[in-house]
Amino acid sequence: MRTRGLRRLALPMCLAALLCCGPAGAGAETAGPLTYGLTPKQVASDTYVFEGSTKHFTRANGGNILNSGFIVTADGVIVIQTGPSRRYGEEMRAAIRRITAKPIRKVFVSNLHPDYWLGNQAYRDVPIAALPGTIAGIEEEGKGIADNMYRLVGDWMRGTEVTLPTEPVHGSTVRFGDHVLRLIPLHGHTAADLMILDETTGVLFTGGVVFCGRTPTTPHATIADWLSELDEVDRLDIRLLVPNHGHVRADKACVAQTRDWLTWLDGALRHAADSGLDMAEALELPIPERFAGLDVLREEYRRSVAHLWPAIERELLPRVE
Amino acid sequence: MRMALLVAGMVGTLPLGVPAVAAPVPRQADPLGSVMWEAVRDQYFGDAPVVFDDAVRVIAPAAAEDTRAVPLAVDATALDGVVEMLAIADLNPFPLVLRYHPGTSAPAFATRIKVQQATAVRGAARTADGVWHVSGMLVDAAGGGCSAPPVSYAQKDWADHVGEVQARLWPAGQDGIARLRMRIRHPNDTGLVDGIPAYFIETLSVRAETAGGTPELARIDSLEPVSENPVYTLDVRPPPGATALILHGRDNQGGEIRATIPMPPTGAQPAMSRMRDPRRSIGQ
C-alpha cells in the first residue's frame, strides 16, 4: 500500500520536473518503458497463444507467467485470459489487432488467480465472461490479489485496478461463427475452474487445471477435486493442450504429470503429519528426483505446504479431552 | 532520529533488578541488518551477553504465504544447558512471540506465528552461563498478519469450541525424547482490530501423570503473535512410568485450557524425524 501511495506522489512530481526543466528531466527515468513484448504464436487454425515464463511473478517478467490466447472466428475474436496487469491486457489487445482487424467478440477468464484477469481493463468495452464462482472470488479477494501483485512485480502494475468479469457463464456449448466452443465448469484447482475446448480445432485451454513442466500452484486447491478434474481432461478428445502455465503440447503427458505431482504432494504431507513432523520441518522434505524438471519446484512446494498442511494436521491430530 | 529516540525510550523503561551477568561481551552487529535489532536487544535481553550463533537453528520460509500463520521452528539442541528460549519477529507491533522453558525437554520448539510485514525472525537460547545465543532469518511478507481479524469469529459457535485440544504423543526414541504435537482452538486475537479486545493464550504447561506426582516437562509463555488456533511441536522427555501427559493453560481473560494426552499405543513408531535430526536437510 505504501509503495502505491508513493507511486501516486511520484508521478505528478515527475511531470512537474518535465514541465519545469524540459527534456533533461527525463533522465531521471532509470529504465525504458516497461514492455512485455507479446508475440502471438499460431498453434492451430485461427488459434494463437502468447507463451509466458514458467517462473513465479517477478519484477523482471512483470507477471507474464501465463499462456493467454485467442481464437479468430468468423464472428469476431474470442480472448482467453487477460494477463496479470492492465499493461499486459493492452499490449495483448494491440498484438491481436496486428493479426486481425475483426472486433473482440468476448473474453473468457478461467479462474480468480491474478494472471487470468488483472488485464480486464483493456477489454472494458466487450463482455468478460467467467464462472459465477470466479466472479464471486474476485469480488471477495480481488483487491488483496491486486495489492499483492503490486508488491511482487511493482511498476508493471501501474494503473491496474480490479475490474470484475461482466457475464456469468455456465457449462454449455456455444457457437461463435465457424467455431464451436465447449465451456467446461470444474472445481479443484480453485473453487471455479473454466476449461474451454474448441471442438472445431480440438484445442483445449485448460486454465489452471493442467500444468506442464511447471510446478502446480495450490492457493485455492482441493486436491481430491483437482484429481477428478484431471480425470475429466483424460476423457476429452483433444488435439492440442494449452495449459495456463508451462508448455503447449499435442499429447496429454502433462495431465499425468500434474496428477503425479498432486498425488505425491498430498501423500507426502499426510505421511509427514502422521509421522510427527512439524509444518516447518515439512518445508524441507526431500522431493523425488522425477520432479526435477518442474520449474520453481522447491519454491512452489513450500507454498503448497503453507496451503495444504494446516487442514491435513487438523484432520489427523486426534481430539483429546 | 526517530530510531534513536525509540531506543533511548526503551532503555529508559528496562525493568530494574536485571541480574548481574558474566563479563560483558562486545555488541555484535546484527547479521540480518534489521533496523529494530538494537531496540529488540535492549528490550528483551537487557544487559545480558548476546552472541549471534548458528548453533541455534531457525527454520521458516523465506517468503510468508499466509502472514497469519508462518511456520517457525527454533532448535537449540546443539547447545548444552539451555534454560530458556525466545522467538522474536523484529518488525511486529509486538516483537516477542513466546518464551519457552524447556525444563527436561529438548531445547527445541516449533509453532506458527503472525507477521505484520517483512521482518527478521529470530530464535534465541539462553544457556546456564547467562549468554543468549541468537540466530534467525529474513521472512518476506505482504502486510497485515497481526491486524487481520481472526477467522474463528466468522463461525457462529466459535465460543463453544474455545480451548478444545487436539494432541498426539509419539513414543520416545532411544534417547528418551518423545515428539508431542498439540493444536488448541483459540482466536489468539491480538487486539489490534478496532473494538475487539486482545484475547490470547498466555501460558501452557505440559506435565506428566505418574504415581509419584505430576512433574512439569515444559512450559510456554505465549503472546499475541502466536497464530490463531495455535499449534506447537515439542520434544518432551516423559519420565518412566508416566501414564499420560497433562496440558494445562490459561488465556489473558482467565479461560482455562485443560486436556489429558494419552501415552502412545503399544507398537506405535517414534516420530519420523525430530527437529535436530540431520536428515531434515535432504533435498535442499
CA dist A64 and B144 (Å) reads 26
B274 or A37: whose pLDDT is higher?
A37
Band of residue A2 on the pLDDT scale cut at 50, 70, 90: very low
Least confident span in B61-75, B102-116, B188-202:
B188-202
Residue type, A149: M
Task: Identify whether B89 is part of a domain.
Answer: no
> Average model confidence (pLDDT) for chain A?
91
pLDDT at A6 over 50: no
A31 contacts A177 by C-beta, under 8 angstroms = no
Give every CB contact of residue B53 below 8 A, 6+ residues apart in sequence.
Answer: B79, B133, B134, B135
Q: Cell digits for B27?
A: 555488541
What pTM value is reported for the model? 0.86
The verdict on a CB contact (< 8 Å) between A281 and B259 is no
CA dist B51 and B131 (Å) reads 7
| Segment 158-197 of chain A within 8 Å of chain B by CB | none
Task: Identify whether B281 is part of a domain.
Answer: no
Any bridge partners for residue B249, and if so which?
B204, B257
Q: Which domain holds residue B232?
A: 149-273
Task: Identify whether B91 is part of a domain.
Answer: no
As a whole number, mean pLDDT of residues B263-281 equals 72
A47 contacts A71 by C-beta, under 8 angstroms = yes
Most confident range (mean pLDDT) of A56-60, A158-162, B280-284 is A158-162
Q: What is the pLDDT at residue B159?
A: 87
Least confident span in A166-170, A192-196, B4-8:
B4-8
Which residues of chain B are within 8 Å of residue A298 when distances are taken between CB atoms? 283-284
Q: C-alpha B229: how far from its chain's center? A: 14
The verdict on a CB contact (< 8 Å) between B165 and A319 is yes
Q: How far is A164 from chain B (nearest CA, A)?
A: 23
Sign, Cα dihedral of B13, B17, B18, B23: positive
Q: How far is A316 from chain B (nearest CA, A)?
A: 9
CATH number at residue A206: 3.60.15.10
Q: What is the pLDDT at residue B273?
A: 64
Give every CB contact of residue B181 below 8 A, 6+ residues apart in sequence.
Answer: A276, A278, A313, A317, B167, B168, B231, B232, B233, B234
CA dist A122 and A119 (Å) reads 6
Task: Identify whether A307 is part of a domain.
Answer: no
Task: Identify whether A180 is part of a domain.
Answer: yes
Number of structural domains, chain A?
Answer: 1
List pLDDT tens digits, range A79-95.
999 999 999 999 999 99
3 state SS of B8: helix
Nearest to B45, CA basis, from B100, B125, B119: B125
User: Which own/partner pairs from A143-148 qualify as long-range (CB within 8 Å, at least 24 positions apart)?
Assistant: A145/A112, A145/A113, A145/A114, A145/A118, A146/A114, A146/A118, A147/A1, A147/A4, A147/B142, A148/A114, A148/B142
Task: Identify whether A64 is part of a domain.
Answer: yes
pLDDT at A47 over 90: yes
Least confident span in A16-20, A48-52, A135-139, A163-167:
A16-20
List pLDDT tens digits, range A16-42.
333 333 333 333 334 568 999 999 999
| Segment 213-252 of chain A within 8 Å of chain B by CB | 219
As a whole number, mean pLDDT of residues A194-215 equals 98
Q: What percent of chain A has pLDDT over 90?
A: 88
Q: What is the pLDDT at residue A31?
A: 59
Nearest CA in chain A to B169: A276
Task: Identify whether B103 is part of a domain.
Answer: no
Which residues of chain A are within 8 Å of residue B60 when distances are taken between CB atoms? 280
The verdict on a CB contact (< 8 Å) between B281 and A320 is no
3 state SS of B270: coil
Of B64, B71, B272, which has the smallest distance from its Cβ to A276's Cβ? B272
Q: Which helix (H) or strand (E) holds B2?
A: helix B2-12
Which residues of chain B are within 8 Å of residue A147 when distances are taken between CB atoms? 142
As a whole number, mean pLDDT of residues B146-161 equals 83
Q: How far is A153 from chain B (nearest CA, A)?
A: 13
Q: Which domain holds residue A171?
A: 34-253
Q: What is the pLDDT at residue B22?
A: 55
In what order do the strands lie in the sheet containing A203-212? A172-176, A179-186, A193-198, A203-212, A240-246
The verdict on a CB contact (< 8 Å) between B71 and A285 is no
B150 contacts B200 by C-beta, under 8 angstroms = no
Task: Identify whether A261 is part of a domain.
Answer: no
Of B142, B233, B262, which has the smallest distance from its Cβ to A151's Cβ? B142
The verdict on a CB contact (< 8 Å) between B280 and A313 is no
Least confident span in A18-32, A86-100, A294-308, B46-60:
A18-32
Band of residue B121 on the pLDDT scale cut at 50, 70, 90: very high
List pLDDT tens digits, range B173-205.
999 999 999 999 999 999 898 888 899 999 999
Any bridge partners for residue B203, and if so which?
B221, B250
List pLDDT tens digits, range B10-48.
444 444 445 555 556 688 999 999 999 999 999 999 999
pLDDT at B1 over 70: no
Q: What is the pLDDT at residue A4?
A: 43
Task: Identify whether A171 is part of a domain.
Answer: yes
Q: How far is B62 from chain A (nearest CA, A)?
A: 9
A75 contacts A44 by C-beta, under 8 angstroms = no
Q: How far is B124 from chain A (nearest CA, A)?
A: 17
Give every CB contact of residue A6 below 8 A, 6+ residues apart in sequence.
Answer: none
As a whole number, mean pLDDT of residues B210-230 equals 96
Least confident span in A20-29, A152-161, A162-171:
A20-29
As a whole number, mean pLDDT of residues B148-175 equals 89
Residue type, B166: Q
pLDDT at A169 over 60: yes
Which residues of chain B are within 8 Å of residue A321 when distances are taken between CB atoms? 165, 259-260
CA dist A240 and B209 (Å) reads 64
Task: Identify whether A281 is part of a domain.
Answer: no
Chain B touched by A56 (CB under 8 Å): no
Task: Identify whether B197 is part of a domain.
Answer: yes
Task: Identify whether A170 is part of a domain.
Answer: yes
Of B166, B272, B275, which has the smallest distance from its Cβ to A320's Cβ? B166
DSSP label of B106: -
A117 or B191: whose pLDDT is higher?
A117
pLDDT at B249 over 60: yes
Least confident span in A106-120, B175-189, B262-276:
B262-276
A204 contacts A236 by C-beta, under 8 angstroms = yes
Give every CB contact of residue B216 below 8 A, 6+ residues apart in sequence.
Answer: B103, B205, B206, B207
pLDDT at B158 over 90: no
Band of residue B151 on the pLDDT scale cut at 50, 70, 90: confident
Q: What is the pLDDT at residue A32?
A: 67
pLDDT at A227 over 80: yes
Q: What is the pLDDT at residue B92?
A: 94
Q: How far is B221 from chain A (nearest CA, A)?
A: 20
Q: What percent of chain B has pLDDT over 90?
A: 76
Number of structural domains, chain B?
Answer: 1
User: What does B219-269 look like in DSSP terms, one character per residue?
Assistant: EEEE-TTBPSS-EEEEEE-PPTT--EEEEEEEETTS-EEEEEEEPPPTTPP
The verdict on a CB contact (< 8 Å) between B283 and A272 is no
As a whole number, mean pLDDT of residues A113-132 equals 98
CATH number at residue B200: 2.60.40.10
Burial class (CB in 10 A: 0-12, 13-18, 19+), A159: exposed
